[in-house]
Amino acid sequence: MTARAVHLADLEPSLIRERTYVTRRRYTRIDAAVLLSAMICLLDLIPASLILPGMTDIGRPALLVGMLLWFWWVLARLNPRLVMVGPQPIRWAVLIYGLSVLISYAVGFLRGLNEIEANGADRAMMSVAVFTGVILTAADGIPNWERLRGVLRVMVLCALFMALVGLIQFTTKVDLTEYLMVPGLQAKGWVPDFAARGAGDFFRVASTATHYIEFSTVMAMTLPLAIHFAIFSPTPKRRRFFIFASLVIAAAVPVALSRTGILALLVAVAVMVPVWGWRLRYNVLGFAAVLGALLMVGRPGLLGTLRDMFTNAQEDSSIQARTERYGLVGYYFAQRPWLGRGTGTWIAPQYQILDNQWLALALSNGMVGVAALAVLHITAVVLAIIALRRSDREGRHLCAALIAAQLIAVVGAATFDSLSFTTFSTTLALMTGFCGTVWRFTHPARTVRTSTPRWFAD
């Protein structure tokens, strides 16, 4: 990174108080980066169906760490010796989103809920705590660029593991997740099987995720980060490794046989191409051609099946079912358009699976909830754009990858109930928090970009 992006002056010890020196490069044994990295490992390496005994899907170990992060961040804000100095716009966006969810939660109980809806509302609020806790911890807790790179590398490595599991499933039809059992956890809920799709013997795989769509979308969101390290890793050995990781993650997107995954991949490429030089564009095009040839040779007819998923979309029963539900959505939305029926009260299995997060949010949280989520996405994108303009080549590439993740989430939410899938929603929360992180790291004011407790600055 250049001096403009890293702010070399911050790397020198500054005498803030008598006999007290503070620097952004100080390390602790357990900090936000360590906990976020641990959460990512638990999220991606352990099958989503494994939870703590006696709990619902919110009992996934990774989500419990996310809940801990929420309490940690709140306690840090309440303690004047620990509060982060300086503004952070992502906090306001999270506050708006959290208030909209909380108000709709109260409206739901005022309306009167049955037992299923009440349980769904409580579960949704816990999910929101995990979602917002991860965003705020990532935005405020990571102290410097090197720690951020460490967390991002963990994300790529865990995504590589997921991709390898998915590819092995697709080529051998052996469910490796059966061998990933963790002592003390139990399998609960729906476990994705090898669902047939398209002509021939093609079937869908989900790796350690809950659903095929979720798996492919998470791979598409992580791919720009893998490419980032393939370009900017400090040694040739590491760059070659991340080139391999990029190819494996890219190959995992089509094996899920998901239109959403392919669409997410196209969005990622469309965002990243402007920040790539011509040489890199040609290299990516060459690797894509090689990868396509390998898929054609390894599984003949796969690319044709993917093409038919789009060209014959009007005849697809899943798309027809989704469009047929629009009338139902309009009927219930018209009854409570502003604040909705109540947070988490549209229970998909018991009512109707909408396969559209924006419509589901409109029913549960109304127009206010939809606007609040849109504000969160827009804030994240704007912060990443500001950081992109302040950064050098490496920083611009990373910011573009974060922008791609937000646009993938916006587009993908129109094709499946994205926030109901915890691997995707937690990955999105991380990417959203990182937008606030890069904005803070590139801010010209030292007290904003420096991860320093308030008592050091007094």
pLDDT higher than 50, residue 302: yes
C-beta separation of 220 from 407 below 8 A: no
Residue 151 or 296, more confident: 151
Give the pLDDT confidence score for residue 427 in this predicted structure.
98
pLDDT higher than 90, residue 246: yes
Q: Is the pTM of this model over 0.95?
A: no
Count of alpha carbons within 13 angstroms of residue 436, beta-carbon side:
29
- Angle at which helices 259-272 and 393-412 pack, to 10 degrees? 150
Give the pLDDT confidence score for residue 323 in this predicted structure.
78
Closest CA to 209 of 172, 263, 255: 255
pLDDT higher than 60, residue 11: no
Task: Determine the average pLDDT of the residues in 379-402.
Answer: 97
55-111 confidence digits (pLDDT tens): 888 899 999 999 999 999 998 888 777 766 678 999 999 999 999 999 999 999 998
265-283 confidence digits (pLDDT tens): 999 999 999 999 999 999 9
Give the pLDDT confidence score for residue 306 in this predicted structure.
86
- DSSP line for 73-88: HHHHHH-TTTPBPS--
Q: Across the strands, what pairs with 196?
A: 203
Give the pLDDT confidence score for residue 271 in this predicted structure.
97
DSSP label at residue 450 = S
In a domain, 24, yes or no: no
pLDDT higher than 80, residue 259: yes
> Whole-angstrom Cα distance, residue 103 to residue 108?
9
In a domain, 323, yes or no: yes
315-350 confidence digits (pLDDT tens): 777 777 777 788 888 999 999 999 999 999 988 766
pLDDT higher than 80, residue 264: yes
Residue 440 or 17, more confident: 440
Give the pLDDT confidence score for residue 296 in this predicted structure.
81
Confidence of residue 170 (pLDDT cuts 50, 70, 90): very high
In a domain, 17, yes or no: no
Give the pLDDT confidence score for residue 59 in this predicted structure.
93
In a domain, 9, yes or no: no
C-alpha distance from residue 291 to each of 126, 280, 282, 288 (Å):
41, 16, 14, 5
In a domain, 11, yes or no: no
C-beta separation of 196 from 205 below 8 A: no
For 118-122, 131-135, 303-307, 451-455, which range has the lowest pLDDT when averaged over its residues? 451-455
Number of independent structural domains in the chain? 1
Give the pLDDT confidence score for residue 217 in this predicted structure.
97
Residue 198 or 73, more confident: 73
In a domain, 10, yes or no: no
Name every residue whose Cβ is closer than 8 Å to that of residue 373 and which is 6 or more positions away in sequence.
97, 361
Average pLDDT, the chain: 88
Residue with tokens 């769904």: 120
> Whole-angstrom Cα distance, residue 424 to residue 167?
19
Q: Which residues of 214-246 are buried (b: 16+ CB within 10 A; e: fewer)?
A: bbbbbbbbbbbbbbbbbbbbeeeeeeebbbebb
Which residues constitute the domain of residue 410? 29-457
For 56-60, 172-176, 197-201, 288-292, which range has the lowest pLDDT when averaged over its residues? 197-201
Give the pLDDT confidence score for residue 457 in this predicted structure.
47
Confidence of residue 451 (pLDDT cuts 50, 70, 90): low
- Of 5-14, 109-118, 363-372, 439-448, the range with the highest mean pLDDT is 363-372
Give the pLDDT confidence score for residue 351 in this predicted structure.
72
Give the pLDDT confidence score for residue 79 in this predicted structure.
77
Closest CA to 295 of 255, 261, 322: 255
Confidence of residue 14 (pLDDT cuts 50, 70, 90): very low
Positive or negative: CA dihedral 431, 122, 65, 24: positive
In a domain, 78, yes or no: yes
In a domain, 298, yes or no: yes
Task: Determine the average pLDDT of the residues in 179-183.
Answer: 91
> Whole-angstrom Cα distance, residue 256 to residue 178?
18
pLDDT higher than 70, residue 456: no
